[in-house]
Amino acid sequence: MGHGDGRGRMVSAADADDTGTRILHVDMDAFYAAVEVLDDPSLRGLPLIIGSPDGRSVVSSASYEARRYGVRSAMPVSQALRLCPTARVVPPHFPRYQAVSRQVMAIFESFTPLVEPLSVDEAFLDVQGVRRLWGSPARIAAQIRERVSAEVGITCSVGVAETKHVAKMASTIAKPDGMLVVSAAETLDFLAPRSVRALWGVGPKAAEALEARGIRTIGDIRATTADMLDRAVGPALSARLAQLSWGRDARAVDTERVEKSIGHEETFDVDVDDRAFLRAELLRLADRVGARLRRAGWETSTVSIKIRFADFRTVTRSQTLSDPTAVSQRIGEAAQTLFEQIDRRDPIRLVGVRAERLQPAGGSALALWDDDEDWRRVEGAVDEAIARFGTATISRARHIGRGEGRGAARHPKDHGIAD
């Protein structure tokens, strides 16, 4: 796989054989940083860190110039600046990224209706049914790259393959600003030397378990018995890896793909041990999660929280609700209950609330008595006020004055989709 900074990059020739392919994986190159350069050309060629320049925020994205110093997403900005002291720190502009994303997705959809967005900056496309209109998959990929560059002003990398898994691997290797085509006949040879860490579903622990048994490449997986794979990673993952190692991936491009979760996190300027403040902060985050659920027409079946302590140890807890809901009060109560179940009382640097297992609102049977009727009315009025006057106009009384006090949270991270 690529190194994330352009090292190990491989691209295909213009006349590459794309026989047997149908799936494209298109991924924007350092998307947030690219949009910032698009809006401010004086930043071009500089090592850029997208994040808050003060406090203890984390890196949202980084330009390839910064990545070559070891800067990575989710790294504390302070650590990133130690690695690359000359980097320019630029605050994120999420509404702008969403707007550019809509431009990019519209280009994809002008080629095929079978588009599966994975996030704001990447998507799978199935182009099998539009070959007569636009040409072969490799030709379609080339046209997409040309149009994204000409019409949006940023670059993308594209993997072309028979399956989603191989296409995503190919786009990663082609970064930045490249295209890699893997024909059906070349798939096994392409996969064989790649690290097991490149396989879908292999995290650090699974990789360590495989490598401890001398299973380091995808080719090694093919040569390993099913029993040994089972002992290394368990039967379920073992069976999936065996299929992927032979280039088999039955997943189709899913145009009905929906958000898996909606969440908000806050990183504090100073470590916080005030339990009352933390409980109120969880409720404030739940208000934001609930509002987004209602705007999108979803309800959540599971609430989870994330707590990161001062020593960076992170714990998560989740709770399945008795009934799906988009009521912020219910989400907040669940989050606070989960928080109280964490025994550790050390200072905390980050808290997060997430709604998971989403489903369309109103999909469950209605009860004869709605315990949340009053809360729905109140929160509906709040939603209307915010829609008319903005988010700064209304807040729970318990939140007033929190923004400038001890432990004030100044560095939010919005997560609309968790993959």
pLDDT, position 407: 43
121 is in an annotated binding site: yes
pLDDT tops 60 at residue 397: no
Residue with tokens 């905390």, as numbered in its chain: 348
Q: What is the pLDDT of residues 157-168, one digit of tens each?
A: 999 999 999 999
pLDDT, position 200: 87
pLDDT, position 406: 43
Cβ atoms of 212 and 152 within 8 Å: the answer is no
The secondary element (H helix, E strand) that includes residue 205 is helix 204-212
Give Cα separations from 76 to 55, 91, 92, 419 (angstroms): 10, 14, 15, 21
pLDDT tops 70 at residue 412: no
Neighbouring-strand partners of residue 351: 266, 307
pLDDT > 90 in the chain, percent: 63
Residues 98-127, mean pLDDT to the nearest whole number:
94
Q: What is the pLDDT of residues 47-91, one digit of tens each?
A: 999 988 765 678 989 999 999 999 998 888 889 999 999 999 999
pLDDT tops 90 at residue 381: no
Neighbouring-strand partners of residue 156: 28
pLDDT tops 50 at residue 9: yes
Q: What is the pLDDT of residues 338-367, one digit of tens each?
A: 999 998 889 999 999 999 988 887 655 444
CA angle, 281 then 93 then 31, to 5°? 115
pLDDT tops 60 at residue 173: yes
pTM of the predicted structure, to 2 decimals: 0.71
pLDDT, position 418: 33
Q: What is the pLDDT of residues 219-229, one digit of tens each?
A: 999 999 999 99
pLDDT tops 70 at residue 257: no
274 is in an annotated binding site: no
Q: What is the mean pLDDT of the chain?
A: 86
**Most confident of the ranges 253-267, 278-292, 380-394:** 278-292
pLDDT tops 90 at residue 128: yes
Whether 373 is catalytic: no
The confidence band for 394, taking pLDDT boundaries of 50, 70 and 90, is: low
Question: Cis (ω within 30 of 0) for the bond into 176?
Answer: yes
Amino acid present at 417: I
Out of 122, 162, 186, 281, which one is annotated catalytic?
Answer: 122
Structure tokens at 186: 């070349």
Q: How far apart are CA 259 and CA 357, in angstroms?
A: 9
Sign of CA dihedral 324, 328, 333, 336: positive
Neighbouring-strand partners of residue 88: 48
Cβ atoms of 328 and 294 within 8 Å: the answer is no
How would you classify residue 124: left for phi > 0, otherwise alpha for psi between -120 and 50, otherwise beta? beta
